[in-house]
Amino acid sequence: MEITASQVKDLRDRTGAGMMECKRALQDAGGDVEKAIDLLRARGAAKVAKRAGREAREGAVGSYIHPGGKVGVLVEVNCETDFVARNEQFQQLVKELAMHIAAMKPVAVTAEEIPAELVERERAVALEKVKTDGKPEKMWDKIVDGMIRKYFQESTLLEQDWVKDPERGKVKDVVQSVAASTGENIVVRRFMRYALGE
């Protein structure tokens, strides 16, 4: 079956995948665009790990102001090309990440970015709680480590459950899903959450 340039362009516009990937997917799907999209998504999921090392210098800064004007968020999300940066799916991800940050108040993007003094403070509070609860002393370190792991899950953006739809998994799963769909490495670079009076 002959695949036309306009079919390839249409698929590229819809998915953000590369021209050759789109052409190959259309050929494998016998020209069926919906099947080609599914093929690209399936193939993209396998390629996400390979793309993780590629540099992401394009992207977008998204913002969200909560109704009432008391909470505001700026978030920078990077991708590899300006083509994907303009992609509707990528733009939607950036917007939803800003809303998620407003609602869930993460401290950092990853656990490694949480300041050491904040981790030590949480560790001291956890240790005091374990002592107060009367747990056996030989168990303290193990229990405190578990509490710190839980703190990281609740306080780091990528480890939080996706607030809009927890069935989709963690924030990192949603980002990875968009990366698989667009065919590019996507990185949540940084964010700032402002709250009135904080």
pLDDT at 16: 64
pLDDT at 53: 55
Class of domain 115-154: mainly alpha
Q: What is the C-alpha separation between 82 and 65, in angstroms, rounded?
A: 25
| DSSP-H helix ranges across 52-136 | 82-85, 88-104, 116-132
* pTM of the predicted model over 0.85: no
Classify domain 58-110+156-195 by CATH number: 3.30.479.20
Residues near 115 by beta carbon (within 8 Å), at least 6 away in sequence: none
Q: From the centroid of its chain, how far is CA 157?
A: 8
Condensed to tens digits (0 to 9), the pLDDT of residues 123-147 reads 899 988 888 888 888 888 899 999 9
Condensed to tens digits (0 to 9), the pLDDT of residues 80-124 reads 888 888 999 999 999 999 999 999 999 999 988 988 898 899 989
Choosing among 1.10.8.10, 1.10.1060.10, 3.90.550.10, 2.60.120.10, the CATH entry for 5-51 is 1.10.8.10
Residue 31: count other Cβ atoms within 10 Å of its Cβ. Answer: 14
